[in-house]
């Protein structure tokens, strides 16, 4: 099938590009960031890198070319054939040329070998991803099943997907607020719509990229954690903590069970999300988020890949300054031992002869001058801080350009994500900003930030009228009491034991781990202090990203406990693993229980109204409807004038104005009034159905609509009758 071929070509091209620009990537899995040997399966790094390097730019190019060919009947078809052909041929040429030049390096069988732990991790990641995604969205026979925990968010997602696969949605508009600009990140939906357009069944088109992205995230998290700490076990634990979040929720829930209900029964049979913080009962913090927001699951791995690129810069600076400081201390010791004077220079201490400097302080004793000891008030810690600042911020290595190709590559990837999932782009730049302050080769960070920022701004200028975001200070996120202590209490209830283990990791870690902890905290702090949208709840993605990264540090603490080889320490490690993951495991079971087949929403894939819309309407045809969430009209790819308001409102659209227009159009008392409003709002089709007739927001004047326009589709009878009117077929003289 062409859809599968599309993905294969994308990954193949990604492998060719990585081999061209990063020929040594094959070796990255063999060493930690500190330079120590660590044997990781190289494919755990290479395959995700190939996926992102190929799929993201290839999909963008197909979109751009499809946009350019939008006036042609089969513009997307031509765009796909052209891009697939170019990517296939260019990928082959890269391999051939590098082979002729004898510069081609292929993964060795030894480096691709899986350890037992890595095999378990791969099976775990595949099983978890397949189970979650195919439980919440699948086709069986002629029925599409949409999970009870995801159907709400899937309303705009499926609407956008179908607008691309059958509606030629160029210029792109939002399916639940048609006719205006597109503020919502839509490129993952375009990828899925394009795969369906190329012949993949809808559930496969949606689930296969979701699985690719989620598994890539797990693998890159493992690689990053193992390289950061030099321990594979930390990678395994970090993946476990990423999948199953920390909170005390499950323990409080079990404590509230009435007598007579067993703990095991309460743990395994629950099908409602339990929450003791605001919106936690939405499933806001658990694996359901990745089922709901497939674009987030797909793009998280890009952030981890970029961190793998840049972390060596941070380690290089820490190791350089540690070495230079060691030289300082050795010089001081040698000076004291040999009775030599120590002269301070910008580049560090230099041993001199016995002749005293001309600016010698006569107040100092001979012994103090001889050994270069600081004054009593010049304490060791302030001295080290001064040295660190001087050698970090005022050294050539700190501001040099280390790997410009890598920096540009990372900038292109992050910039390209702006309309896949903008939160990941912002979170990555926040983490990199903190790392840059304490790394060598800061110009690499600057190149990445400039390219990513420029691409994001360019996309916003193309797709969005006005400002892309509305930035404002908003302290406290969604804590009930947005005071300092109220927020601390909220974080404690939200994160549970992870809060204390992360604090322990910071206190017990070395300089590199403390710097990384500060960098990992940047998205978390951003979420609690800033708002970019009308609904600050969407900041939860930044918090989840920080918690994923904090999990690496927590895993390292757990491993250190285990390595003590004392029974009490190992028992404490096991207890903490259970304490940190219990709520997440409970919520995973809840997701599965809540999305059992009998609970899911079922839709006929051959529904007549869905087929009619796909055959007779395009993405330029705006439907006046009730405020639909997910139904057969949405599955047809209908572009709704005003769908369920939350989706458009949280994306920044003025839903209140359109609510008023909807009411006026449905309540219009004359054909002339109706036609004027219809023309003003660029409506093509009007739907009158049960939702309109029972609406509490207006009283529909179906008689006026029926006397004004010709009905082009009708189904059912009585109150459940659904009629589509075509405004281009008026029954009156204009």
Q: Does one domain contain both 78 and 160?
A: no
Which pLDDT does position 347 carry in this prediction? Answer: 43
CA torsion sign, 479 to 483 to 484 to 486? Answer: negative
Q: Are 347 and 356 in contact (CB under 8 A)?
A: no
Residue 11 exposed, middle or buried by CB count within 10 Å (0-12, 13-18, 19+): buried
Q: Does one domain contain both 94 and 132?
A: yes
Which pLDDT does position 469 carry in this prediction? Answer: 66
Domain assignment of residue 458, yes or no:
no
Does residue 7 carry a pLDDT above 50?
Answer: yes
How far apart (Å, rounded) are the C-alpha atoms in residues 465 and 398?
Answer: 40
The band of 346, judged by pLDDT with boundaries at 50, 70 and 90, is very low
How far apart (Å, rounded) are the C-alpha atoms in residues 187 and 419?
Answer: 6
Instruction: Give the residues across from 473 on adjacent strands.
Output: 530
Which pLDDT does position 498 carry in this prediction? Answer: 97
Structure tokens at 312: 């060596």
Q: Does one domain contain both 75 and 111?
A: yes
If one compares 343 and 228, the residue with the highest pLDDT of the two is 228
Mean pLDDT of the chain: 90
Q: Does one domain contain both 180 and 200?
A: no
Which pLDDT does position 339 carry in this prediction? Answer: 55
Does residue 539 carry a pLDDT above 90?
Answer: yes
The predicted model gives 684-708 an average pLDDT of: 94
Phi and psi of 185, rounded to 5°? -70, 115
3-state secondary structure 393-427: HCCCHHHCCCCHHHHHHHHHHHHHCHHHHHHHHHH
Domain of 361 in residue numbering reads as 318-399
What percent of the chain stands above pLDDT 90? 77
H helical segments located in 1-104: 2-21, 25-28, 43-68, 75-100
**Last residue of some domain: 175, 194, 229?**
229
Beta-carbon contacts of 261 under 8 Å, excluding residues fewer than 6 positions away, are none
Q: Are 454 and 572 in contact (CB under 8 A)?
A: no
Does residue 431 carry a pLDDT above 90?
Answer: yes
Global pTM? Answer: 0.91
Phi and psi of 345, rounded to 5°? -120, 165
Q: Does one domain contain both 131 and 169?
A: no
Dihedral-angle region of residue 372 (phi above 0 means left; psi in -120 to 50 means alpha; beta otherwise): left
pLDDT digits (tens, 9 = 90+) for 189-235: 999 999 999 999 999 999 999 999 999 999 999 999 999 999 999 99
How many folded domains does the chain comprise?
A: 3
Which pLDDT does position 99 carry in this prediction? Answer: 86
Which pLDDT does position 338 carry in this prediction? Answer: 60
Q: Is 447 helix (H, G, I), strand (E, B) or coil?
A: helix
Domain assignment of residue 426, yes or no:
no
Which pLDDT does position 111 carry in this prediction? Answer: 79
The predicted model gives 587-601 an average pLDDT of: 95
Structure tokens at 293: 């927001």
Nearest 5 degrees, angle CA 192-CA 84-CA 306? 65
Q: Does one domain contain both 67 and 208?
A: yes
pLDDT digits (tens, 9 = 90+) for 372-395: 444 444 457 787 778 878 888 888
Residue 466 exposed, middle or buried by CB count within 10 Å (0-12, 13-18, 19+): exposed
Domain assignment of residue 654, yes or no:
yes
Q: Does one domain contain both 43 and 168?
A: no
Dihedral-angle region of residue 339 (phi above 0 means left; psi in -120 to 50 means alpha; beta otherwise): left
Phi and psi of 605, rounded to 5°? -70, -15
How far apart (Å, rounded) are the C-alpha atoms in residues 570 and 29?
Answer: 29
Which pLDDT does position 481 carry in this prediction? Answer: 95
Does residue 341 carry a pLDDT above 60?
Answer: no
Domain assignment of residue 550, yes or no:
no
How far apart (Å, rounded) are the C-alpha atoms in residues 404 and 258?
Answer: 62
Q: Are 38 and 227 in contact (CB under 8 A)?
A: yes
How far apart (Å, rounded) are the C-alpha atoms in residues 462 and 168?
Answer: 18
Beta-carbon contacts of 722 under 8 Å, excluding residues fewer than 6 positions away, are 609, 687, 688, 689, 690, 713, 714, 715, 716
Which pLDDT does position 105 carry in this prediction? Answer: 79
Does residue 630 carry a pLDDT above 50?
Answer: yes
Structure tokens at 433: 């900003």
The predicted model gives 40-69 an average pLDDT of: 97
Q: Does one domain contain both 358 and 376?
A: yes
Q: Does one domain contain both 372 and 337?
A: yes
Q: Does one domain contain both 162 and 126?
A: no
pLDDT digits (tens, 9 = 90+) for 396-408: 888 999 899 999 9
Q: Which residue has the tokens 């294969």?
A: 8
Q: Does one domain contain both 45 and 83?
A: yes
Domain assignment of residue 415, yes or no:
no
**Last residue of some domain: 342, 370, 399?**
399
Closest CA to 90 of 70, 48, 61: 61
HSE, side-chain direction, 13 A CA sphere, residue 541 = 25
**Last residue of some domain: 376, 399, 422?**
399
Domain assignment of residue 506, yes or no:
no
Lowest mean pLDDT among 4-8, 137-141, 178-182, 481-485: 178-182
Q: Does one domain contain both 116 and 159?
A: no
Domain assignment of residue 80, yes or no:
yes
pLDDT digits (tens, 9 = 90+) for 80-89: 999 999 999 9
Does residue 173 carry a pLDDT above 70?
Answer: yes
Closest CA to 1 of 56, 54, 62, 80: 80
Distances (CA, A) of 319 to 110, 130, 313, 458, 498: 30, 42, 10, 38, 29
DSSP conformational letter for 308: H
Q: Are 206 and 215 in contact (CB under 8 A)?
A: no
Structure tokens at 286: 């658990």
Domain assignment of residue 626, yes or no:
yes
Which pLDDT does position 634 carry in this prediction? Answer: 95
Does residue 273 carry a pLDDT above 90?
Answer: yes
H or E segment to which residue 344 belongs = strand 342-345
């Amino acid at each position: 099938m062409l859809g599968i071929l599309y993905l294969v070509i994308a990954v193949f091209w990604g492998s060719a590009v990585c081999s061209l620009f990063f020929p040594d990537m094959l070796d990255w899995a063999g060493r930690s960031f500190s330079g120590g040997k660590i044997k990781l399966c190289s494919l755990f790094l290479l395959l995700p890198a190939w996926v992102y390097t190929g799929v993201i730019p290839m999909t963008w190019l197909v979109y751009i070319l499809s946009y350019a060919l939008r006036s042609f009947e089969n513009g997307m078809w031509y765009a796909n054939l052209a891009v697939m052909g170019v990517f296939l041929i260019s990928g082959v040429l890269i391999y051939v040329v590098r082979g002729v030049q004898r510069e081609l390096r292929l993964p060795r069988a030894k480096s691709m070998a899986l350890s037992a732990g890595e095999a378990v991790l791969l099976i775990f990641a595949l099983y978890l991803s397949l189970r979650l995604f195919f439980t919440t969205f699948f086709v069986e026979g002629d029925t599409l099943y949409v999970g009870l925990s995801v159907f709400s968010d899937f309303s705009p997602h499926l609407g956008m997907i179908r607008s691309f696969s059958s509606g030629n949605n160029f210029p792109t508009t939002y399916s639940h607020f048609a006719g205006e600009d597109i503020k919502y990140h839509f490129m993952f939906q375009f990828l899925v719509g394009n795969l369906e357009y190329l012949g993949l069944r809808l559930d496969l088109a949606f689930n296969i990229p979701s699985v690719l992205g989620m598994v890539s995230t797990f693998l890159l998290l493992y690689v990053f954690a193992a390289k950061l700490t030099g321990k594979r076990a930390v990678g395994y634990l970090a993946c476990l903590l990423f999948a199953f979040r920390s909170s005390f929720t499950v323990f409080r829930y079990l404590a509230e069970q009435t007598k007579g209900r067993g703990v095991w029964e309460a743990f395994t049979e629950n099908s409602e999300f339990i929450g003791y913080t605001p919106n936690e009962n939405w499933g806001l913090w658990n694996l359901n988020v990745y089922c709901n927001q497939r674009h987030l699951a797909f793009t998280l791995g890009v952030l981890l890949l970029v961190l793998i690129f840049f972390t060596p810069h941070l380690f290089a600076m820490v190791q350089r300054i540690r070495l230079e400081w060691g030289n300082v201390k050795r010089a001081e010791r040698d000076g004291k031992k040999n009775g030599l004077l120590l002269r301070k220079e910008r580049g560090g201490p230099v041993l001199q002869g016995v002749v005293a400097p001309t600016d010698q302080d006569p107040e100092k004793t001979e012994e103090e001058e001889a050994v270069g000891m600081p004054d009593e008030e010049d304490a060791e810690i302030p001295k080290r801080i001064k040295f660190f600042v001087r050698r970090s911020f005022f050294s050539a290595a700190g501001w040099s350009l280390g790997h410009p190709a890598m920096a540009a590559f990372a900038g292109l990837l992050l910039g390209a994500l702006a309309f896949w999932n903008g939160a990941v782009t912002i979170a990555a730049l926040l983490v990199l900003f903190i790392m840059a302050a304490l790394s060598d080769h800061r110009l690499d960070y600057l190149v990445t930030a400039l390219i990513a920022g420029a691409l994001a701004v360019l996309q916003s200028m193309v797709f969005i009228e006005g400002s892309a975001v509305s930035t404002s200070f908003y302290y406290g996120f969604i804590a009930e009491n947005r005071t300092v202590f109220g927020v601390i209490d909220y974080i404690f209830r939200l994160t549970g034991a992870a809060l204390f283990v992360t604090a322990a990791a910071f206190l017990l870690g070395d300089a590199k781990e403390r710097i990384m902890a500060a960098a990992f905290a940047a998205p978390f702090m951003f979420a609690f202090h800033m708002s970019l949208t009308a609904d600050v709840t969407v900041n939860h993605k930044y918090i989840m990203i920080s918690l994923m990264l904090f999990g690496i540090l927590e895993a390292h603490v757990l491993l250190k406990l285990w390595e003590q080889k004392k029974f009490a320490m190992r028992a404490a490690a096991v207890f903490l693993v259970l304490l940190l993951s219990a709520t997440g495991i409970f919520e995973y079971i809840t997701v599965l229980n809540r999305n059992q087949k009998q609970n899911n929403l079922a839709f006929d894939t051959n529904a007549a109204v869905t087929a009619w819309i796909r055959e007779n309407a395009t993405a330029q045809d705006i439907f006046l409807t009730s405020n639909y969430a997910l139904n057969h009209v949405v599955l047809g790819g209908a572009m709704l004038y005003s769908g369920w308001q939350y989706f458009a409102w949280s994306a920044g659209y003025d839903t209140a104005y359109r609510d008023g227009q909807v009411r006026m159009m449905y309540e219009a008392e004359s054909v002339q009034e109706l036609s004027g409003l219809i023309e003003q709002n660029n409506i093509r089709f009007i739907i009158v159905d049960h939702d309109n007739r029972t609406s509490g927001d207006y009283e529909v004047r179906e008689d006026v609509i029926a006397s004004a326009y010709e009905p082009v589709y009708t189904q059912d009878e009585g109150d459940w009758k659904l009629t589509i009117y075509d405004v281009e077929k008026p029954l009156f003289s204009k």
